[in-house]
Amino acid sequence: MAAATLLRGAAPGRGGSAWRWQLRAAPRHRLAHGSGCQGGDRAGGAAWACFPLRERALVRVRGPDSAPFLLGLLTNELPLPGPAADAAPPLVRAVYAHFLNVQGRTLYDVIFYGVPKHADQEPTFLLECDSSVLDALQKHLVLHKIRRKVTVEPCPELHVWAVLSRDPEEASGATLLQEHKGVPEGVHDLPPGVALPLESNLAFMNGVSFTKGCYIGQELTARTHHMGVIRKRLFPVQLSGPLPASGISPGTTVLTESGQAAGKYRAGQGDVGLALLHSEKIKGPLHIRTAGSGRVALTASVPDWWPTTTK
């Protein structure tokens, strides 16, 4: 028995041609058991490993009005599906975008896919989201559906997997992870109703179009963009010093050497994380105060995939 699998390729940047994904069949036992799988082309020296992304879920939006419906809700243009061939799996194009509230703050970050349309099929899109907001996203879509000819439904038969390259020469087959920190994903990095899209570097990730038609939350986003002033941004940070056993709490104030507020810690794991910081204050020494007069140093960096004008 087979189940459909959405394979997410690992490539830096979210707007290039490398962001092409495949919807294909995979053995159900492979989806249900084990932490990953490996494979490759020995003749060509290529090797890969894939892992299930259990914290991600999918929503299907289909129907004659699905395209204009989504255009009125998302920050980006719709992905153009690739050609479907009978002899090969259909090519699925992916686009990154946010759903915003009327105040222009992020509700949900999604990667959405245009499924190739066959002659006897209605337009169909898949929205990949944080699994913890699956129900909330469906309710949000249904709330704005009104009289449009659109069906919104979960996709329990679909699974999202990450595909990573690995070194075929190593006996352990170690996975080659590129160190491209600073890409937020999910409700911990982008708290619903709190995060602002441009402060969260949505434009750098090709997640917003400033030439498309109207969408909910567009006014503040467009005005901020055209003013050209974004004083705070989400930066990748490295922590050094004795960390609390429970980690750094989200929302903890980040301080300069003189004790002035430089921003707030957003989320992280171990000694790496993300923080919303004033851009002009990241070059000086920063720290976070912990319980018992403790102090953890914090170093912010500018990712190499950001535009050079912002570095």
One digit per residue, the tens of pLDDT, for the chain of length 311 reads 234 555 565 443 433 333 334 444 433 333 333 355 665 555 455 577 788 899 999 999 999 999 999 999 999 998 865 555 555 655 667 899 999 999 999 999 999 998 877 767 788 999 999 999 999 999 999 999 999 999 999 999 998 988 877 665 554 555 555 566 889 999 999 999 999 999 999 999 999 999 988 999 999 999 999 998 899 999 999 999 889 888 899 999 999 999 999 999 999 998 999 999 999 999 999 999 988 778 999 999 999 989 986 65
* Rounded alpha-carbon distances, angstroms, from residue 10 to 29, 65, 170, 200, 238: 24, 32, 20, 21, 23
Q: Are residues 134 and 240 in the same domain?
A: no
Within a domain: 275: yes
**pLDDT given for residue 177 in this prediction:** 53
Q: Are residues 154 and 258 in the same domain?
A: no
**pLDDT given for residue 72 in this prediction:** 96
DSSP state at residue 281: G
Domain count, the chain: 2
Domain boundary among 230, 250, 268: 230
Q: Are residues 117 and 216 in the same domain?
A: yes
**Whole-angstrom distance, CA of residue 71 vs CA of residue 185:** 21
Q: Are residues 284 and 274 in the same domain?
A: yes
CATH label of the domain that carries residue 202:
3.30.1360.120
DSSP state at residue 142: H
Within a domain: 182: yes
Q: Are residues 149 and 266 in the same domain?
A: no
**Whole-angstrom distance, CA of residue 59 vs CA of residue 69:** 14
Within a domain: 149: yes
Tell whether the torsion through CA atoms of 208, 213, 218 and 219 is positive or negative: positive
Paired tokens of 287: 């720290």
Query: pTM for this structure?
Result: 0.81
**Whole-angstrom distance, CA of residue 189 vs CA of residue 109:** 10
What is the phi/psi pair of residue 136, to 5°?
-65, -40
**Whole-angstrom distance, CA of residue 128 vs CA of residue 117:** 19
Q: Are residues 208 and 247 in the same domain?
A: no
**pLDDT given for residue 83 in this prediction:** 55
Within a domain: 114: yes
Ramachandran quadrant class, 247 (left: phi over 0; alpha: psi -120 to 50; beta: rest): left
Q: Are residues 134 and 278 in the same domain?
A: no
**pLDDT given for residue 94 in this prediction:** 87
- Residue in this structure with the two tokens 């790496």, named with its chain if needed: 272
Q: Are residues 237 and 224 in the same domain?
A: no
Structural domain boundaries, residue 236 = 232-300
**pLDDT given for residue 19 in this prediction:** 36
Contact 192, 135 (CB under 8 A): no
Q: Are residues 67 and 122 in the same domain?
A: yes
